[in-house]
Structures are given as structure tokens and as C-alpha cells.
Amino acid sequence: MAAVKVALVTGSSSGIGEAVARRLADAGYRVVVNSARSVEQGEKVAAGLPDAHYVRADISVEAEAQRLVADAVAHYGRLDLLVNNAGFTRPVPHADLAGADPELWRVILGLNVIGTWQTTVAAMPHLTDTGAGAVVNISSVAGSRPAGSSIPYAVSKAAIEHMTRLLANTVGPRVRVNAVAPGLIETPWTSGKDFFAPIAAKVRESTPLRRTGLPEDVAEAVLNLAEAAYTTGQVLLVDGGAHLI
């Protein structure tokens, strides 16, 4: 009888991360739910999934990223899938160069890029041990287009996409590394925000699928890449066809 697969999803107390955790659980994974601050919500998500486990950890801190992975492996005895979803942004108009101050760069790159790297490095020996481990990074269309909530955020996602390719080329054949690049997704972070409404209206009017995305759309793509045994080094756009316009 095959062992039950275990997935660690960073930043999974709400939004895309929560949807990913739920979709993986539906597919039979045992899921480690994580957040840095929303402990009550993270525990609630884990409690609603079969045999899930919650760990509070801030992956931008190396010791905490390592502890998160160690806790996941200690709890389940293995790790098959890492989904690097945790991230941060703060809206800054691209023309406001002074608004993207060095501290914002440090915070965004520290979590989105360095945090992703630290967690991946900590997880890699365990993913390798399975012989068929997988990493799925969450990027953004902003990683390849002049878009996004701020220039530091867009740069961080571009870095994640190239990190995905470099790692895929390095850690195969025992571990596959891919990324999902969502377009405009309706999440608690975008809900009710002034900047979101006009962008959403444009997406609904002009993109081929005529709607904004849902966290579940991204979650389905993550599961597909997690299970795609002959796919590595890919960045899958999940944007309703926005890249075509």
C-alpha cells in the first residue's frame, strides 16, 4: 500500500494558500498549514482538513523556516510536496520611485525570495528522500510583465520564476520544481480595495475568459503541477488569458 503523501503549504491560513491546502487535502495529501501571524485562522483551516497539522513560523527567518520543515517531517515522517506560497506586498505606484524605499525592498525580498529559498533548502533533503518530491512556487503575472502592486513585488516574482528554472535544472531527477503565475485573483487581500475594482472590471471586459480568477483556480493548477511527473522548470500562467491581450 502506497504511503500517504505529505504537503507543506506556506502562508496557507487564507486566500490562495488556504485554497491550495484544501485542494491538496481533497486529493488525499496530509497537509501542513502555516502562517506567520494569523495563528487562530491557521489552526481553523487545519482543523477543517483531515489529519492536517498547523505550524506557526515566519519563513523570512532562517531558523523558523528550518523549524517549520523539521516540525512537518517530525509530525508525518516524510515530506513529498512543498508549496511556496507565503509572500508580502504593499501597493506602491510604479512611478513613485521614492515610495519603493529600501526598507520595502528588504521586507519584500526577505520574505518572497529569501524566505522561499530558505524553506526550499530546508525541505530539499526530505523531498529528495522520497525519490519523487516536488516544489511548486507561487509567482505572479507580474514576474514576467510590467505589472503588479509595486516594482519590488514584481521583481521578487521574477526572481522566483528564475529560481524555479535554476532549481529544476539542479535537483532533478529526484525532485521536480515548477511555478504557478496567477493573474488577478479575488482574495481577502484584494476584497474591498480601491485599486482592485477598476482592474477587475478591465479583466472582465477584455480577457478571453471574461472573469477574474478565484483561489480555487490557482489551487487546481498547483495540484496539476504537483502530480505532473514529466514536467519540471515550468511557469504556468493562470490568468484567464490576460497574457494574450
Nearest to 10 by CA among 192, 165, 160, 227: 160
CB atoms within 10 A of CB 94: 14
H or E stretch covering 238? strand 235-238
3-state SS, one letter per residue, for 114-182: HHHHHHHHHHHHHHHHHCCEEEEEECCHHHCCCCCCCHHHHHHHHHHHHHHHHHHHHHCCCEEEEEEEE
User: Is the Cβ–Cβ distance between 167 and 205 less than 8 Å?
Assistant: no
228, HSE (Cβ side, Cα atoms, 13 Å): 19
**Cis bond before residue 188 (omega within 30° of 0):** no
Q: How far is CA 132 from CA 17, 39, 56, 201, 227, in A?
A: 22, 31, 27, 42, 10
Separation of alpha carbons 56 and 44, rounded Å: 13
What are the catalytic residues? 153
Separation of alpha carbons 25 and 158, rounded Å: 29
Percent of the chain as helix, strand, coil, to the nearest 5: 45, 15, 35
